[in-house]
Chain A
Amino acid sequence: AQTVTQSQPEMSVQEAETVTLSCTYDTSESDYYLFWYKQPPSRQMILVIRQEAYKQQNATENRFSVNFQKAAKSFSLKISDSQLGDAAMYFCAYRSKTGGGADGLTFGKGTHLIIQP
């Protein structure tokens, strides 16, 4: 079974600074998806960015980018120019492309990001 580990329960960053959230995962599969989800106080789950394992190029979405290291099974999220609206819980998640296991998303335990004004 796949596992996802987020080793930082909480991170704090000054507004306008850059912060990196860490995520590692364990899998025996070669093709899969990785995601970062944001959960603000409203509790809505918002997809921030996704990465396909066979794509070597790191995904970017405006101020959000990832550092995907397939061999190391590492998938970190970098937020540039942090804004107050970025304050939220961030979840790293894995999904098999072959439909193995429970077929759903496997989530890490989350990182609570605090933005200091």
Chain B
Amino acid sequence: EAQVTQNPRYLITVTGKKLTVTCSQNMNHEYMSWYRQDPGLGLRQIYYSMNVEVTDKGDVPEGYKVSRKEKRNFPLILESPSPNQTSLYFCASSFNRLSYEQYFGPGTRLTVT
């Protein structure tokens, strides 16, 4: 089944404790991205990757890192999480940067206390 998976689905952590949210897709997609969703703000792009070893900042990159060492994986790294990073995070992928359809993962609910 074609899908985007994220782990963990739920995470509660404390300020400053490094964490990684994994994202994996099995569709051989070139383009992957991360979004965060906050009430009243919709979804905003954090980082994106057009292919292996090619990443770039989205609209709200501060406090996040990403890497793309393999085509299927695109982890989101929070080196020193803060409470303002409490949010719902979505990973998405598409065939390439111009494909009209993006496939979304199920979301990761992160709470930073």
Q: Is B100 within 8 A of A104, CB to CB? A: no
B74 interface contact, C-beta 8 A: no
Given A95-B100, A102-B58: A107 in contact with B107 (beta carbons within 8 A) = no
Secondary structure of the A side of the interface?
Answer: loop
Chain A residues in 8 Å Cβ range of B29:
none
For A20-64 the 0/1 string (1 means CB < 8 A from B) is 000000000000010100000001110100101000000000000
B101 touches A47 (CB 8 A): yes
Determine, out of B14-22, B34-42, B64-72, B76-84, the stretch whose residues face the partner at the interface.
B34-42
Residues of chain B within 8 A of A4, CB atoms compared: 42
Collect the chain A residues with CB atoms within 8 Å of residue B111's CB.
none
Are A44 and B102 neighbours in the complex by a CB distance under 8 Å? no
Complex interface: chain B residues within 8 A of A99 (CB): 97-98
The answer to whether A107 touches B42 (Cβ under 8 A) is: yes
A104's contact among B35, B41, B106, by CB below 8 Å, is which? B35
Taking the nearest CB of chain B, how far is it from the CB of A98, in angstroms?
A: 8
Contact of B45 among A45, A105, A108, A109 (CB under 8 A): A105
By beta carbon, the residue of chain A nearest B31 is: A103
B48 touches A33 (CB 8 A): no
Of the four ranges (under 10, 10 to 19, 20 to 34, 35 or more), the interface on chain B belongs to 20 to 34
Contact pick for A110, options B42, B100, B101, CB 8 Å: B42
Given known contacts A43-B88, A44-B106, A50 and B44 CB-to-CB distance under 8 angstroms: no
Residues of A within 8 A of B92 (CB): 45, 104-105
B44 pairs with A107, CB closer than 8 A: yes
Does A68 make an interface contact (CB < 8 A)? Answer: no
Q: Of residues 41 to 67 in B, which have CB atoms within 8 Å of A's CB atoms?
A: 41-45, 48, 50, 56-59
Check if B33 is an interface residue, CB within 8 A of chain A: yes
A44 to B92, CA, bound (A): 11
The answer to whether B40 touches A104 (Cβ under 8 A) is no
CB–CB A50/B40 < 8 A: no
